[in-house]
A = this chain, B = another copy of it.
Amino acid sequence: MIRVSIDPAPIELALELAALEERGAGGVASFTGVVRGGDGITALELEHYPGMTEDALCTLAEQAMDRWSLLGVTVLHRVGRMEVGERIVFIGTAAAHRREALAACAYLIDRLKTDAPFWKREWRGEAASWVEARESDAEAASRW
């Protein structure tokens, strides 16, 4: 079961994890990205390429299902404006064994960073700046 969603609404962690647990898996792994404060950041804004983003995330989820023995994959990404402490992204994987669930979870977040058309803008009060892509993300994605 694949669930992919790009939504301005907050991510409901408990609901998403419960749905994965109900897949009958022995193990559920998750990664949640949260807007981090510090460096004067007050909010984050996410823009995406409607249509292409959904396809890119579905393709990633299908690749993970093919590569590992998974019973469920959930990939959620928020778009629009988010305050410090809010969730940006959620990856959840369900598998009979922990190794598969954990590996697929790491794969999905690494590849999402380079393979899905999102752009992030940091707000510091009234000032906004586009986040630059990091070389380390390309390296992390290439190890798969």
A29 touches which of B22, B29, B98 (Cβ 8 Å):
B29
The size class of the interface chain A forms with chain B is 20 to 34
Question: A102-B105, A102-B106 are contacts. A26–B34 as well, Cβ < 8 Å?
Answer: yes
The yes or no answer to A59 lying at the interface (CB within 8 A) is no
How many copies the complex holds: the figure is: 2
- B96 near A31 (CB under 8 angstroms)? no
Residues of B near A98 (CB, < 8 A) are 31, 33, 106, 109-110
The yes or no answer to A13 lying at the interface (CB within 8 A) is yes
Q: Which 7 A-B pairs have the closest CB atoms?
A: A14-B14, A26-B36, A28-B32, A30-B30, A102-B106, A29-B31, A21-B34
